[in-house]
């Protein structure tokens, strides 16, 4: 354990998040997503896990250390419900609240059609599978930057 680091964030996840660069994609997936096979196509090439934790809790832990690329664009994508692109399931509403709290303002997520989501996910830096069992608990986060004046010394 480390001070100030959420226990959900194991060493492999912390290293991956740290190694990611500005604009890299991070996939956070539910238990139904083909996480292992998609992760094999990612830059990291293997699956990372935050087991037995919901997607909102996992994203809350990730955002405790991970800067989003929000100044220029929406930086969190959500998988669209098939045939109902405007429907927002509860899991996505919960993640939206987590993102807004982390950013300290409204930071709307953008929808990604299911097959397009898979295509983007295969090009991501890495995939983190969660214990989320609800459908459509899949998200893509874009890494932002931390200005030099905000880095703790």
Select which of 22, 36, 90, 119 is catalytic: 22
Active site residue 25: no
At which residue do the structure tokens 């990612």 appear?
42
Instruction: Find how far residue 102's CA is from the centre of its chain.
Output: 13
Select which of 24, 25, 69, 136 is catalytic: 69
Report d(CA 8, CA 10) in Å as an integer: 6
At which residue do the structure tokens 């991501």 appear?
124
Report d(CA 44, CA 23) in Å as an integer: 15
Residues in the chain: 153
Contact 26, 109 (CB under 8 A): no
Select which of 24, 30, 118, 136 is catalytic: 118
Active site residue 118: yes
Catalytic residues: 22, 69, 118
């Amino acid at each position: 354990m480390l001070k100030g680091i959420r226990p959900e964030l194991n060493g492999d996840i912390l290293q991956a998040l740290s190694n990611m660069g500005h604009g890299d994609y991070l996939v956070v997936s539910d238990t139904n997503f083909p996480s292992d096979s998609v992760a094999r196509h990612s830059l990291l090439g293997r699956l990372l896990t935050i087991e037995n934790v919901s997607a909102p809790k996992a994203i809350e832990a990730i955002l405790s250390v991970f800067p989003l690329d929000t100044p220029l664009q929406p930086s969190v994508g959500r998988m669209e419900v098939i045939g109902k692109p405007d429907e927002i399931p509860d899991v996505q509403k919960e993640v939206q609240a987590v993102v807004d709290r982390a950013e300290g303002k409204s930071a709307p997520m953008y929808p990604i059609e299911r097959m397009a989501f898979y295509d983007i996910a295969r090009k991501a830096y890495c995939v983190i599978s969660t214990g989320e069992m609800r459908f459509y608990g899949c998200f893509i986060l874009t890494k932002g930057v931390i200005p030099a004046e905000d880095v703790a010394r």
